[in-house]
Chain A
Amino acid sequence: MQLLLQQIMAGLANGAIYALVALAVVMIFLAIDHLNFAQGEMATFSTFIAWQLIHWGLPYWLAFIAVVAVSFIGGIAIERVLFKPLHHAPILASLVGFIALFSILNSGDGYIWDYTIKEFPTPFGNKPLFGSVLIDTHEAGMIGVTVILLGLLYLFFSGTRLGLAMRAAAANPESARLVGIRVGWMTALGWGLAAAIGAVAGMLIAPVVFLEPNMMFGVLLYGFAGAVLGGLTSPAGAVLGGFAVGVIENLAATFIPYVGRDLKLTIALVVIVAVLMVRPTGIFGRSVMSRV
């Protein structure tokens, strides 16, 4: 029983990160109808910047805030420079754009910071939380920061005019233009937010998986699985999906014989394939109909 609870808590901690990555993916998907394959590499790059700042002696939380801000601006810049010109391009052109972004960032990490594995600090420590064996302080911190971030995003999207404008632009770009919303800038803002959310995810997971250029590869796969499970068109669904995938992953690795650590990543792919076969729109997603 205790093992089960322990694994569920650990799953929720990892799931928090998958939830953030899934949310970042969905945010860009809603704006431009493409999956951002480079989401993980963007997050890794941000995490390297954080590592560098902390290495130079900046306090953790100062570096954290600076990196979130830099990532936000970087996300906007990527949209303006790379993807705005591809807006009306065929799908393959966008795909190549994502691959280019992926490899530029991935190689950039290695070129600037080399490929050796780096330790990344955690501000929460690694002690048992309140003496409990169920969860340690870093895991609790991952969940706590994620919940705070999700709360802030919810307030932003439901309670501010800019959030409303962003939702409108993603849901119905033509009508959004007809009320005067600058849809292109809303897309750029979505990229900025996705990059900032990814940066938080990267900085939270780095102490667990250690920092190196391919750090987010597995995380992104789990994030995709969470997004597909919850529904690529539903931000809240993607968040729930991310948490669910984290728990499923941990329980499967612990309780299903033969899966263990080695086949853990396969779980993500099994989830993706199973959802696509049974309910392609995900649990909370909706099908998009288009007139031709």
Chain B
Amino acid sequence: MMLEVAGLEAFYGEQQALFGVGFDLDTRQVRTLLGANGAGKTTVLRALCGMVRTGGDIRFDGKSISGRATEDIVRLGVAHVPEGRGTFVRLTVEENLQLGAITRRDHTAIAADIEQIYHHFPRLKERRTQQAGLLSGGEQQMLAIGRALMLRPRLLLLDEPSFGLAPLVVEELFAILRRVNLDTGVAMLIVEQNAALALEFAEYAYLIETGRIVMNGPAANIAADEGVRRAYLGY
């Protein structure tokens, strides 16, 4: 198992945000974490990357990574597309992509990977020399995902990739994520408020409420359970 999480707690100052969260994820798998606003979805992703103070156990490839620095966890092959996209707004589109591969040393492969990202997202190629802050919301989301893929990650954490995007753009984005998952085998953990979309995309889902996992199961089952949908997912 690539990622094993058990008894995960997270704290913002004195405030505890997660209470004994457990889940796992293996290579090639796509799983989703669903829940209402403030349930703790983003905190789970931040905890995995060492961006909040945590308790409990997080194992990557069987080795504990709890308490390690964010940059060290990233260097293991964990890419995080954060809430708000984390764009380097004053740098160009291409510099943003190069930064995604900043820990890699294989220079020729990096150039090829940038071309691959441009192939996925032709609009980024058109704007490669522009300041990234001038991109539209959808383009910035593409850039954030492109930047994450430049790491050649083994695990991709996606925080609300559909947020603020037009439905057509969302469809395009998820089609590309699907293709990348099939091509490279990168595992994905995706946090979404758009539960219908996420349940269609992922194979397996976890439901989180006030910092606790309250239900899990194959995405199809959860999507089919009307009680669950009404109680937790609001559609």
Decide if A and B are genuine partners: yes
Q: How large is the interface on B (under 10, 10 to 19, 20 to 34, 35 or more residues)?
A: 20 to 34
Bound complex: CA of A176 vs CA of B71, how far in Å?
8
Chain A residues within 8 Å of B70, by CB: 177-178
- B91 lies within 8 A of A179 (CB): no
A103 at the interface (CB under 8 A from B): no
B82 at the interface (CB under 8 A from A): yes
Chain B residues within 8 Å of A181, by CB: 71, 99, 102-103
B95 at the interface (CB under 8 A from A): yes
Query: What is the CB-to-nearest-CB distance from B95 to chain A, in angstroms, rounded to a whole number?
Result: 6
B80 at the interface (CB under 8 A from A): yes
Bound complex: CA of A180 vs CA of B49, how far in Å?
11
Q: Per DSSP, are chain A's interface residues mostly helix, strand or loop, or mixed?
A: helix
Q: How large is the interface on A (under 10, 10 to 19, 20 to 34, 35 or more residues)?
A: 10 to 19
Give per-residue flags for A152-185: 1 if the beta carbon is below 8 A from chain B beta carbons, else 0.
0000000001001101100110111111111100
Bound complex: CA of A260 vs CA of B99, how far in Å?
51
B161 at the interface (CB under 8 A from A): no
Chain A residues within 8 Å of B86, by CB: 172, 174-175, 178
Contacts A178-B49, A178-B82; A165 near B99 (Cβ below 8 A): yes
- A171 lies within 8 A of B88 (CB): yes
Chain A residues within 8 Å of B49, by CB: 178
Query: What is the CB-to-nearest-CB distance from B122 to chain A, in angstroms, rounded to a whole number?
Result: 23
- B98 lies within 8 A of A180 (CB): no
Query: What is the CB-to-nearest-CB distance from B86 to chain A, in angstroms, rounded to a whole number?
Result: 4
- B102 lies within 8 A of A177 (CB): no
- B71 lies within 8 A of A175 (CB): no
Bound complex: CA of A180 vs CA of B91, how far in Å?
17
- B91 lies within 8 A of A168 (CB): yes
Contacting A168 at CB < 8 Å: which of B74, B79, B88?
B88
Interface residues in chain B, defined as those with a beta carbon under 8 Å from any beta carbon in chain A: 49, 51, 69-71, 74-75, 79-80, 82, 86-91, 95, 98-100, 102-103, 147, 151
Given contacts A165-B99, A174-B82, A182-B71, 11 further A-B contacts (CB under 8 A): A164-B95, A168-B88, A168-B91, A171-B90, A177-B51, A177-B74, A178-B79, A178-B80, A179-B74, A180-B151, A181-B102
* 10 A-B pairs in the complex with CB atoms less than 8 angstroms apart: A164-B91, A165-B102, A172-B89, A174-B82, A177-B74, A178-B80, A179-B100, A179-B103, A180-B102, A181-B102
